[in-house]
Homo-oligomer: A and B are copies of this chain.
């Protein structure tokens, strides 16, 4: 996807919201378990219901890997469905991968070629050569972990201002215009510093909802001159109800956040 398409979608839909499909088979409504592929069917139903009100879909690989190759098949079916029916939605493989170049190249193949995601989240710890394999692809994006939403962000990211070094260093890389950054909604005080370094980069913001980040504060602090944020909400939407009314409740939860939109 071109960046301009993502930006236009945000303007037209008046939404920054990304649907996070962290789908745990033990948490989906029980009546779906009698279907052949309950996780895929759950994902499909949420996408069908919510696609007009979101601009992106993020799929966290952990929840699929926990169920082995069957789970991986659900992941493949979900991204195939998105690419076939809703190509206007920006897709994110939340995989937090990275390895030496030779191996990162294989991860890039997995997410950009085999499954055709628009973007993948990447951990910066192994440095430039572990990230650059992902940056070779046209119209594909790296979403680099900068400052995550969890408590442990203090241990190595905030320590020594490493998250700022990640921003500064990665800006110097080839194709750095294709880098977006993960910045947690639970860290609103840090947005000013971050925006002083990457004013125009897209930020992927998790941590709203179940993780406690405040939506209005986050939007206010994180947007800069353009509408360059993607706010992910997972559990607060997909598990809004555990019974047959889960789609109604999911849409209601989504509306709650979209209606708070300032711009």
Interface residues, chain A, CB within 8 Å of chain B? 22, 24, 60, 62-63, 65-69, 72-73, 76, 94, 96-101, 103-104, 106-107, 109-110, 114-115, 123-131, 145, 148-157, 159-160, 162, 165-166, 169, 211
Contact = CB atoms under 8 A, between A and B. Distances in A.
A153 B124 CA distance: 10
A165 B109 CA distance: 33
B96 A99 contact: yes
Contacts of A73: 69
23 contacts: A22-B103, A60-B106, A62-B97, A62-B99, A62-B103, A62-B107, A65-B106, A65-B110, A65-B114, A68-B115, A69-B72, A96-B98, A100-B148, A100-B149, A125-B145, A125-B156, A125-B157, A126-B148, A126-B153, A127-B150, A129-B152, A156-B162, A160-B160
A66 B106 contact: yes
Given A66-B110, A123-B98, A152 B165 contact: no
A156 B124 contact: yes
Contact of A124 (B103, B110, B125, B149): B125
A101 B211 CA distance: 11
Nearest to A70: B69
Given A124-B125, A128-B155, A156-B169, 15 more contacts: A60-B99, A60-B106, A62-B97, A62-B99, A62-B107, A66-B107, A67-B114, A68-B76, A69-B69, A96-B98, A96-B126, A126-B148, A126-B153, A127-B153, A159-B165
A199 B107 CA distance: 34
A148 B159 CA distance: 20
Given A100-B149, A151-B129, A68 B72 contact: yes
A128 B152 contact: yes
Nearest to A150: B100
Nearest to A96: B99
Nearest to A63: B106
A50 B155 CA distance: 41
Contact of A66 (B22, B65, B109, B151): B109
Contacts of A166: 156
B156 A66 contact: no
A130 B150 contact: yes
Contacts of A103: 22, 60, 62-63
A96 B68 CA distance: 17
